[in-house]
Structure 1
């Protein structure tokens, strides 16, 4: 039966509590940290001479769709009424509201060490110890807006810039792709300074702390960000039905720059056997609501 992912601001107090409780239970079981480790292992950049499936690659959208599904299925094994909510950062752009409330994500990190002190994922509450990371430290960190070099959340105009591009992706199929919806929404550009980061990438940098880099899953807001990214992919497909197919269709050949570094439409995306073609729509799995 299809379930509905809803905007986080439309959740009732009871629904927020059930979502948080399910996340904390996965953490107690050790399952949550397995998701963190998976993302760290598959956070591969352009400069690494190996397969990229999660970032800086055409499979950014289908890989994270499957990743979200696996997490949501784990949550629903705990509580079948729970789904992953999404965060529309083009509208919920401040530090207030329900998203950063004490009964959902908690607030910003404090000055100095950027430790999150409020909410269910604050280390001092005893339920959220960072165990899988690329650096030392047991507490969740955030640095909203990067005060030392301020950055804003993406706007509706930023999203429209990506949504208006009818091409899914273009060569060279990485973070330097000059056009294409995938790279524009993932958010890599050739600009300098803070303008380098757009859309998805800019959200990670606005939240800061653990949301920077491969260990970003340590911050549960990761899932709400990627649920919205998944929703935007769905909207783009509906807007451009004639060109919504995944690219590249065929794998790069020997001697080409991306040979064995990206996956074509029918090739499997590790750590699963599923290829991008199996994740091109979510009909029958879940729907999005307000």
Structure 2
């Protein structure tokens, strides 16, 4: 078993090893495969096909397995590496440690929002954004989206309200579920009910590829989702009697029957069920 640490607690050596492992799987082409996978399974609830990853109860278990697969790829390069988490309720500044020159690099420059610092800057020669993701090949960021429509990072109170919800998810099991921990954290905005929140709001705050289906193009994606995974862990500990729902696919003839994954329905592309991903304690822990 290994430990996932808060990114602010990483040593200089731990940061270097993580960055080196990411760059190595990028050079091998494996990193781009992860981006393609996320784009493939980023299915909107307006589409007439299965959606295991987003706008769905299986949001948490699908991303847990996805993160584990990425972590295993890193550990094949360096067995001592794990994916740290970014607690954006604490590290809220554009100058927080994760944006340092020796870690993820900083914000994009004015104008084209091109990231110019850190190991993932295009000019460093190691990071080329995939074809069809942006008009350019470089990583972009737009912290806080300044201008007419600025966005702020979620607060500790935002997360606390989600953690208090004793129900995992509710019908209609998609982006318009107004109750339930899953959508309170995933954060789809519901017209006239609440704005985009938590998980989704962080994606918007970072900007660039993080704001779309190709979000893993920015390595901060993994640190963000490590924290999302930790929040699921905290919720389950706070509500030990609360179950993953739906326990089985919704009854026919409901539209969601073919698109939503029950507790024992295998999720693509790994053919693993949500039940198999409820407990991570034998694999990793959070510091």
1:223 matched to which residue of 2? 222
Q: CA RMSD in A?
A: 1.2
Residues 190 and 196 in structure 2, CA contact (< 8 A), matched pair in contact too: no
Aligned pairs for 1:125-144 within 5 A? 125-144=124-143
Larger mean Cα displacement after TM superposition, 96-105 or 33-42 = 96-105
Structure 1 ranges of 4+ moved more than 6 A: none
Residues 33 and 132 in structure 1, CA contact (< 8 A), matched pair in contact too: no
Aligned pairs for 1:29-44 within 5 A? 29-44=28-43
1:102 matched to which residue of 2? 101
2:146 matched to which residue of 1? 147
Structure 2 CA distance for aligned equivalents of residues 5 and 84 of structure 1: 6
1:164-203 per-residue CA deviation (whole Å, 9 max, x = no partner) reads 000000000000001000000001131469x621110010
Quick check: 1:163 aligned with 2:163?
A: yes
Aligned pairs for 1:194-205 within 5 A? 196-205=195-204
Structure 2 CA distance for aligned equivalents of residues 273 and 150 of structure 1: 40
Structure 2 CA distance for aligned equivalents of residues 59 and 87 of structure 1: 22
Compute the displacement of 1:257 (Å): 2.0
In structure 2, the CA distance between the partners of 1:233 and 1:133, relative to structure 1 (3 Å rule), is farther
Quick check: 1:52 aligned with 2:51?
A: yes
Compute the displacement of 1:283 (Å): 1.3
In structure 2, the CA distance between the partners of 1:77 and 1:209, relative to structure 1 (3 Å rule), is same
Structure 1 CA distance for aligned equivalents of residues 278 and 131 of structure 2: 30
Structure 1 CA distance for aligned equivalents of residues 90 and 45 of structure 2: 32
Gaps of 5+ in 2: none
Structure 2 CA distance for aligned equivalents of residues 107 and 88 of structure 1: 17
Residues 252 and 258 in structure 1, CA contact (< 8 A), matched pair in contact too: yes
Equivalent pairs, count: 286
Secondary structure of 1:99's match?
helix
In structure 2, the CA distance between the partners of 1:26 and 1:284, relative to structure 1 (3 Å rule), is same
Q: Report the TM-score when normalising by structure 1.
A: 0.96
1:89 matched to which residue of 2? 88
Larger mean Cα displacement after TM superposition, 150-159 or 132-141 = 132-141
1:41-86 per-residue CA deviation (whole Å, 9 max, x = no partner) reads 0000111111001100000000000000000000001001100000
1:234 matched to which residue of 2? 233
2:211 matched to which residue of 1? 212
Secondary structure of 2:3's match?
strand
1:188 matched to which residue of 2? 188
Residues 36 and 132 in structure 1, CA contact (< 8 A), matched pair in contact too: no
Compute the displacement of 1:142 (Å): 0.4
Secondary structure of 2:279's match?
coil
Q: Report the TM-score when normalising by structure 2.
A: 0.97
Structure 2 CA distance for aligned equivalents of residues 168 and 271 of structure 1: 24
Structure 2 CA distance for aligned equivalents of residues 20 and 133 of structure 1: 25
Structure 2 CA distance for aligned equivalents of residues 40 and 137 of structure 1: 18
2:64 matched to which residue of 1? 65
Residues 134 and 209 in structure 2, CA contact (< 8 A), matched pair in contact too: no
